Amino acid sequence: MSTGDLEARIARLEAVAEIRSLPARYAQHYARCDPDALADLYTDPVTLRTGERGSRKSLRQVFAGSCTPADGVRMAILHVGNHIVDFTDEDRAVGSVYCRAEVQRGNGSFFHQAIHYGDHYRRRDGVWRFERQRDHELFYGAPAGSRPNGLPPANWPERDVGTGTFPGSRRRDTSRPGS
Amino acid sequence: MTGLEARVRRLEAIEEIRQLVSRYALALDSRDIPALVSLFVEDVRTHDGRVGRQALAEWFDPVLRPFGTTFHLVGNHVIDFVDEDHATGVVHCRPEHEVGDLWVVMPMQYWDRYERREGHWYFTSRSPHVFYAADVQENPLKVPGRFHFPGNPFIHKADLPERWETWQRFWGTDTEEGTA
């Protein structure tokens, strides 16, 4: 076993450790309503959910817009669990993340959601970041204390609560373009 | 193998075992049975006494049909190595299940065994142990046997924490005290 091989294996382990921290950092910065820190987790430029390339700055505005309006997020408890990481090459990887969220909005609504994130990670200048706006799909959303059964589709982000689209019947393709 | 290589191998093993658990949850929630059984060793033994991934796929199919949407959130994962190619694990999972008009939550643990074959880690077995199963609007403590999961074809009771010997000793409910 050559030193080079060993070094490559250690570099891979370090990459996984750094990538694993990204969803946790995302959850932390989101809960703290810190749009600057959130945006900094992304590459610049970044691929938006629409498929277009946007600036990190424009993504920052999206994050700022989730906390500030009257019905914006007040309290977000994002419990991140399952995380699958698959490398496509030395500088790119894709991820699948489960999250159980309990969220309070400024208008008084309080709901919980079971979320699946589909992530694309990229290393640039030695730092791993999200390369695309995270795919965010609901298994479901439901008002606190309620059952999700029989709710109409949430069609997130149109509504916070309702039946979701994950896993659904869609093709599980890691090269799926945005939206 | 040098000391450094052994340490790297151990870290890689931990990472691969951790991801086995997440991959299992995703495959199960997606009802992707080929992906699910590929996470097990080739000669896996099924709960009904058969051997092999095909047999496991046949075992899983009816077990996964009585529910609609399911969400298997995993968390704490304790991994202990027996030797370089064998390990055991205890994983916390908080699954939710759409069961007709009910939404059944079933906090549980998996007691796992893992084995490395040809450089990759697989499950050799997973054994579920449940704290409770209850509809989200029920108080789990008021549910008989702390287990209300209509039509579950595989799991029929809650056995944690009472199953732990340490728990029994602490609360004085072990056999020396005369309880069943």
Nearest CA-CA partner of B19 in A170, A81, A175, A28:
A81
Per DSSP bridges, beta strands A127-132 and B108-117 are unpaired
Of A16, A84, A114, the CB nearest to B26: A84
Q: Read off the pLDDT of residues B78-121 as tens digits, 9 standing for 90 and up.
A: 999 999 999 999 999 999 999 999 999 999 999 999 999 999 99
Q: How far is B154 from chain A (nearest CA, A)?
A: 23
CB contact at 8 A, A173 and A123: no
> How much of chain B, in percent, has pLDDT values that exceed 70?
96
Q: Read off the pLDDT of residues A115-155 as tens digits, 9 standing for 90 and up.
A: 999 999 999 999 999 999 999 999 999 999 899 999 999 99
Question: What is the C-alpha to C-alpha distance for residues B132 and B149, in angstroms, rounded to an integer?
Answer: 9
Q: Is CATH 3.10.450.50 what the domain over A3-163 is classified as, yes or no?
A: yes
Structural domain spans, chain A: 3-163
Which domains are seen in chain B, by residue range? 3-177 (3.10.450.50)
Q: What is the pTM of this model?
A: 0.91
Question: Residue A113: its chain B contacts at CB < 8 A?
Answer: none
| Selected residues 24-43 of chain A with any CB under 8 Å from a CB in chain B | none
CB of B74 within 8 Å of a chain A CB? The answer is yes
Nearest CA-CA partner of A31 in A80, A78, A68, A64:
A78
Q: How far is B72 from chain A (nearest CA, A)?
A: 9
CB of A167 within 8 Å of a chain B CB? The answer is yes
Q: Read off the pLDDT of residues B145-179 as tens digits, 9 standing for 90 and up.
A: 999 999 999 999 999 999 999 999 999 875 554 33
Structure ipTM: 0.89
Task: Provide the token pair at A167.
Answer: 């896993």
